[in-house]
């Protein structure tokens, strides 16, 4: 059966010609920022990928099709749409079947990228084990996806609102390589150092690309998490942003915020509590991840040549 994939001409040509392509998620557009900042940020990330030698492929579901790359008109429509589904492995097929509009999380973007033949994906931060998961069992579907889908994901670690030690434990149990880029510490999204040591460290895009290719040669399922620290000039140290995170978490619990609504609520409250600094840092780290992802994608192309 033919897959329900729609490619922009730019992405289709790059894949056909064996040029590097970087997948980008769309929940950051629909659930992460207001319009028009969301569309402006998305275009800036796409431009950063292009500036470093790769073709960006922002992924979203529209009209019963998985769109691999978005036209300017489609990106504008997504940025202003209401009632957009937030898609993970559980509801990707349902969204397509219903003809709904959906934005892809890390897990759904990995699935769609792999279907399209894209091996590298840049995002902000991955989901993980939520605080209090010992009673709520709230664990992001992003984590098991890394054990299933062969895509290298470049992120600034896991979101700092999460239980980072437990997130690393789950990734280890799933057999997922967690690679800190250029440092030993596992980064914490807005902060360069979570206080935890990453299981692996690599210092070049070429090493990361070689590991991705080697996993395929060995027949190992799943992908890699590349934890790329936010640039030093843009970070909010953990001791500064920590109180805002704790306040937002307490408010979420008091208001009974749960499931897929937790992360958007927390990010919005932390934006307010930090007077917008968290959003500035978020944009800086996504751009930084786009740069590294483009470099890794280029190295994979060279290795496969």
Catalytic residue set: 25, 159
Q: What are the structure tokens assigned to 57, written together?
A: 């492929």
204 labelled binding-site residue = no
86 labelled binding-site residue = yes
> What CA–CA distance (Å, rounded) separates 299 from 305?
10
136 labelled binding-site residue = no
For residue 289, give the nearest of 233, 226, 238, 203 by alpha carbon.
226
DSSP string, the chain: ----EEE-HHHHHHHHTT--EEEE-SHHHHTSS-TTHHHHHHHHHHHHHHHTT-EEEEEEEETTEEEES--HHHHHHHHH-SS-EEE-TTTHHHHHHHT--EEE-HHHHHHHHHHHT--EEE-S-B--BBTTHHHH--B-THHHHHHHS--EEEESBB-TTB-HHHHHHHHHHTT--EEEESSSEEEETTEEEEEEE-SEEE--HHHHHHHHHHHHHHT--S-EEEE-PPPGGG---HHHHHHHHHHHHHHHHHHT--GGGHHHHHHHHHHHHTTTHHHHHHHHHHHHHHHHHHHHHHHHHHHH-
166 labelled binding-site residue = no
141 labelled binding-site residue = yes
The annotated binding site is made up of 86, 106, 138, 140-142
The annotated binding site for Mn(2+) is made up of 138
The annotated binding site for substrate is made up of 86, 106, 140-142
């Amino acid at each position: 059966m033919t897959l329900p994939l729609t490619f922009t001409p730019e992405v289709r040509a790059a894949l056909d010609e064996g040029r590097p392509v970087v997948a980008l998620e769309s929940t950051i557009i629909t659930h992460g920022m207001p319009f028009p900042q969301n569309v402006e940020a998305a275009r800036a990330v796409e431009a950063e990928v292009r500036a470093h030698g790769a073709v960006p492929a922002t992924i979203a579901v529209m009209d019963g099709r998985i769109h691999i790359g978005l036209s300017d008109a489609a990106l504008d429509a997504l940025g202003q749409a209401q009632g957009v589904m937030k898609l993970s492995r559980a509801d990707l097929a349902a969204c397509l079947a219903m003809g709904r509009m959906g934005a892809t999380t890390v897990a759904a973007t990995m699935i769609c990228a792999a279907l399209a033949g894209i091996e590298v994906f840049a995002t902000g931060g991955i989901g993980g084990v939520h605080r209090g998961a010992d009673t709520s069992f709230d664990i992001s579907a992003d984590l098991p996806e890394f054990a299933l889908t062969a895509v290298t994901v470049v992120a600034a670690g896991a979101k700092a609102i999460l239980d980072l030690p437990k997130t690393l434990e789950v990734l280890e149990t799933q057999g997922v390589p967690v690679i800190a880029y250029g440092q030993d510490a596992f980064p914490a999204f807005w902060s360069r150092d979570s206080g935890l040591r990453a299981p692996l460290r690599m210092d070049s895009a070429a090493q990361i690309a070689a590991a991705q290719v080697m996993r395929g040669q060995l027949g190992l399922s799943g992908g890699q998490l590349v934890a790329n620290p936010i640039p030093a000039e843009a970070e909010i140290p953990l001791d500064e942003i920590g109180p805002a995170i704790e306040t937002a978490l307490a408010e979420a619990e008091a208001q009974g915020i749960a499931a897929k609504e937790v992360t958007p609520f927390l990010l919005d409250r932390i934006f307010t509590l930090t007077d917008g600094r968290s959003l500035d840092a978020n944009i800086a780290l996504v751009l930084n991840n786009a740069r590294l992802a483009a470099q890794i994608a280029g190295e994979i192309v060279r290795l496969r040549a």
